Structure 1
Amino acid sequence: MPLSDTAIRSAKPTDKPYKLPDEKGLFLLIHPNGSKYWRQKYPYGGKEKMLAHGVYPHVGLKDATSPRFQWQSALESGGTSQPRQKRGPLGVRR
């Protein structure tokens, strides 16, 4: 069942991190300090990788699901391999 904004807002922190699953590998990771991070699991080269979409509420439900569908369709069509990391002017990851 897809996540709703109400379910996300009402998610309370516990003593251990836990996940609120959405669809196609996307989930919201809730940490004990109350922070909420968008993550997505995906297969790559026979292994499971994880992609970060951002922090809730800066990245809302609609924004988190939008790139997911673009990324998922690219994987299903055999397109891109692994997402590129943004790099700064000196080649250092941001």
Structure 2
Amino acid sequence: MSKALQKSRIPQGFAAFFHPITSTTARCKPAKLTDAQGLTLWVMPNGSKYWRLKYRFLGKEKLLALGVYPEVSLKEARLKRDEARRLLSEGIDPSAKRQEDKLTAQVAAANNFEAIAKEWHARESHEWSAAHSVRVMSAMATHIFPFIGALLHKS
């Protein structure tokens, strides 16, 4: 083991894995550093590094993005890999689950009080004077949205 790795704060068992991550430079095409159970670190030609998980679902090979190195550490990437593998064992496609969660969040964000109030304002304000329209929106932004703007509307 090199003296640089000995001096670093990398745990002893992980030195063999971390050394390629920190020393890998950009190439003409993405370099892939493998960990275990489908987890790989892709080093792109521009030098950026991405965690990816290769898995199979219903006989089809898929690739799931887990984050950008170093924002997502090796430990976090392994935890995300384990969660994705747990979903696979339950018969759920991790990629489809992620898309479903994202869509649910978007619908929830569009279905809160503030979004509905702004929609109402846009629909009704053409019947008001410009000054009144500004006063109504200003009053809602000052007195209502900070307190109940994020509440979800349940229909």
TM range (shorter): 0.7 to 0.9
TM-score normalised to the size of structure 1?
0.79
| 1:84 matched residue in structure 2 | 98
Tell me the SS of whatever aligns to 2:71. Answer: coil
After superposition, the C-alpha distances for 1:22-79 in whole angstroms (9 at most, x for unaligned) are 1111101111100001000111111001110011111111111111112223323x34
Hey, which of these two has a bigger chunk of helix by percent?
Answer: 2
CA distance in 2, matches of 1:35, 1:81: 27
After superposition, the C-alpha distances for 1:6-27 in whole angstroms (9 at most, x for unaligned) are 3211111112112111111110
Aligned CA distance change for structure 1 residues 60 and 45 (closer, same or farther; 3 Å): same
Runs of 5+ in structure 2 lacking a partner? 1-13, 111-155
| 1:6 matched residue in structure 2 | 19
Runs of 5+ in structure 1 lacking a partner? none
Structure 1 residue corresponding to 2:53, chosen from 14, 25, 40: 40
Among all aligned residue pairs of Structure 1 and Structure 2, give the percentage whose two residues are the same amino acid.
Answer: 45
| Count of aligned pairs between the two proteins | 88
Higher relative contact order structure (alpha carbons within 8 Å, sequence separation ≥ 6): 1
Hey, which of these two has a bigger chunk of strand by percent?
Answer: 1
Q: In terms of Rg, which structure is larger?
A: 2
CA distance in 1, matches of 2:58, 2:75: 29
| 2:83 matched residue in structure 1 | 70
CA distance in 2, matches of 1:72, 1:13: 30
1:20-39 pair list within 5 angstroms: 20-39=33-52
1:80 CA drift (Å)? 2.2
